[in-house]
Structure 1
Amino acid sequence: MAIYLDIIWFLNFCIDLLLLLLTAIVLKRNLVKWRLLLGALLASSVLFLVVTPFSSIYYHPMFKLAFSTCIVVTTFGFRRFSYFIQNLLTFYFVSFICGGGLIALHFFFNNEMVILNGVVTTKSTGLGTPISWLLVLIGFPVIWFLSKKRFELIEVRKVKYEEIVDVDLFILDRHLKLKGLVDSGNQLQDPLTKKPVMIIDMNNLQNKFPKSIVQQAKHPEMIGDQSLEMECGWEEKLCIIPYRGIGQVNQFIIGIRPDKVVVTLENGDELDSSNVIVGLNFTNLSSEGDFNCILHPQMLIQGKKRLA
């Protein structure tokens, strides 16, 4: 039986890379690319141990624990013990979900797998069956994607939509300190970039923006008007976003691509939510003035936790 070790190693490398990446996504870790690649390389290198006379070591639980510890520390580093344990347990959890999904699909589609004396065996060659390869090449990315979406859905439900948070908005030389309401009803996205849109109340903030920007925010149809003199750097940050409210026809809102948006939660955590577009709106958002912007829930889900 011929075993193509290089192909099997490359598949393991890709799978380990995706598992470590999903672990980072679930925990919202800021990954260093070279550490991620090094961690995946270390994880896949255990394959070469299996084909040596020392393969018995691989099956020992203590070796597996020690090896997975090295993988996690290599990929995420070691800052404190609680940080390491959280990384390790989440890595196991993600691996069990994706691996269990693959085994379930394999049992469902494959009739060449049998269990002899408690050991799973397959009737195949060193190249594997077509079903096995399809599961690895197609099934694993699908399970990975569905798991990622499921984790995001769970996180959405954890978000307190009635929570008012502090928002620091940076646009060129302007710094605005805002109060933002996390609103599940705000599902506005830029149709081109798919970036979430946060809405700010311009009624009391228009003095923070150039007059030309305020004029265009009041009259979106004027965007691109050559008669308006734009301050340096602002024109390239402008965009126009179509939207439709309940009982309304299609309308447009002027948007600005910010340099940075930092959201401070009630527990003091700071999220870098710069991957967003700021919509300029002249509708009064809060009659009592409790907040002056509405945040898209994806800003809290996709935001990267800033390190102190």
Structure 2
Amino acid sequence: MEIYLDILLLENVVINYLILYVTARFSRLRASTLRLFAGAIVGALYVVFIIIQPGGRVYYTALAKILLSFFIIAITFSPRKVLSFLKTLVIFYISTFIFAGAALAFLYFNQQGGFVKNGIIYVFGQSKGSLMFFGIATVGIIVKIFMEVIQSRITREKLLVPVIIAFDNRAIALPALVDTGNSLKDPLTNIPVMVVEFKALEELLPSEIKGIFENSKEDDLSCVTATISTSRWFSRFRLIPFSSLGKENGMLIGFKPDFIQVGEEDQKRDIKNVIVGIYNRSLSGDDMYKALLGPELVA
């Protein structure tokens, strides 16, 4: 089998550059184009070297490849801390496995065949270009999906704020999500409503109100009104109509707390004009937050 070193070098530079680019995106590290190319060339030269030195078995070992990875990461990103270096190294390996998996998948479907030896993929015939193209395209799609998921999570984390709810001389702390679509207000007073999971509020509520949610009677209007009307906290509770949270024309039981405190230690704000709406389901699939805040409550 004939191997054209110039083509091999070019292909590996391109693939290595893309792997390092993906690593930079996932690790959120800055690396200049020159550094990315420098790291890519080092990796490509290693492949060429082990081909022209077939007797040097030491270069095929896992230790040699790990040391090469260290060298590439050091050249490309120059992490100053050990933890940052190891994190970048892990992301580099994950990116490499993604590219290798895509290449092997297309190699499997390649009619002209190929094989893997000493960590190098060899492709027969004239399909190398198409294999590289489709492999890169597949990786591009995978990376785009991963980046969107990661970006979505980061964006959501930025919108999370700590909240303290005080009621009847007791208080609870919970994470809340600033929901730009939450414009819910008390129809009587026009006070904004924050929505909180019942489980997070349970210890604050009077026993008769807890009973409504424990028995899933929050949709039974006659039961709710009868219970609230006889509660000693009658003046603090509200019935708030809503048409979201997965339900049309629903009714949310709410109460006026002593106050809520929103924000981190150095940016805390006490808010008294707010209603806490009680929601008897989970608001977050991964429990990252227990409440929804309207943007006007954090402005």
Tell me the TM-score normalised to structure 2 length.
0.50
Q: Which structure: greater helix fraction?
A: 2
Looking at both structures, which has the greater relative contact order when contacts are Cα pairs under 8 Å and sequence separation is at least 6?
1
Name the larger-Rg structure. Answer: 2
Tell me the TM-score normalised to structure 1 length.
0.49
